[in-house]
């Protein structure tokens, strides 16, 4: 494991037995969109399964990536996918089930990633959808936009500076 320690959260590598949870987690990230889609329940299920499988294939293509499940009291609550590069850590994905959002867990996970990066003299990079409310958290931690891709925004943070911001922002 990468040395990430998050108070109150256990991290372990994703295994094949986690696929049903990961599909449910993915569906939760698309819930509002699916309710607006006009799809029937069967169409939603088919669409979400297709998109989840495509996302998993895309994420597995990242070299030097670490796929971690987030557990709270032994229960799976989210995932952290992290790519280790020579000069940066890339947060490929950080997702939490809705019941575990807005409780400081995402901040603590990012703080641990930033601390790891600072200790290694690396930056932290990520991409976020333009209208994702998580951007406010990233900015509060010190991330800055480096490229606007239209739908997505690429953000980066110097590990040392962001580590200090993250420690100050922790609940």
Domain ranges of the chain: 10-14+64-169
pLDDT value, residue 122: 93
Whether this prediction's pTM lies above 0.85 is answered by: yes
pLDDT value, residue 29: 87
- Quote the CA–CA distance of 66 and 92 in Å, as a whole number: 9
Tell the CATH topology of 10-14+64-169.
Aminopeptidase (3.40.630)
- Quote the CA–CA distance of 92 and 168 in Å, as a whole number: 24
pLDDT (tens digit per residue) in 73-109? 999 999 999 999 999 999 999 999 999 999 999 999 9
| CB contact at 8 A, 151 and 127 | no
- Quote the CA–CA distance of 137 and 98 in Å, as a whole number: 16
Rounded to 5 degrees, what are φ and ψ at 25?
Answer: -60, -45
pLDDT (tens digit per residue) in 30-67? 887 777 888 888 998 899 899 999 999 999 999 889 99
């Amino acid at each position: 494991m990468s040395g990430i320690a998050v108070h109150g959260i256990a991290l372990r590598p994703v295994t094949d037995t986690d696929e049903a949870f990961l599909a449910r987690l993915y569906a939760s990230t698309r819930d509002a969109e699916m309710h607006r889609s006009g799809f029937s329940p069967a169409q939603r299920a088919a669409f979400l399964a297709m998109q989840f499988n495509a996302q998993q294939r895309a994420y597995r293509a990242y070299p030097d990536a670490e796929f971690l499940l987030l557990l709270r009291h032994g229960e799976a609550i989210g995932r952290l996918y992290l790519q280790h590069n020579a000069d940066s850590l890339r947060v490929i994905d950080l997702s939490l089930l809705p019941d575990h959002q807005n409780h400081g867990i995402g901040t603590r996970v990012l703080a641990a990633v930033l601390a790891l990066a600072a200790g290694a003299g690396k930056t932290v990079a990520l991409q976020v959808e333009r209208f994702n409310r998580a951007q406010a958290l990233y900015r509060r931690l010190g991330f800055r936009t480096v490229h606007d891709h239209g739908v997505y925004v690429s953000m980066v943070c110097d590990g040392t500076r962001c580590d200090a911001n993250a420690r100050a922002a922790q609940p």
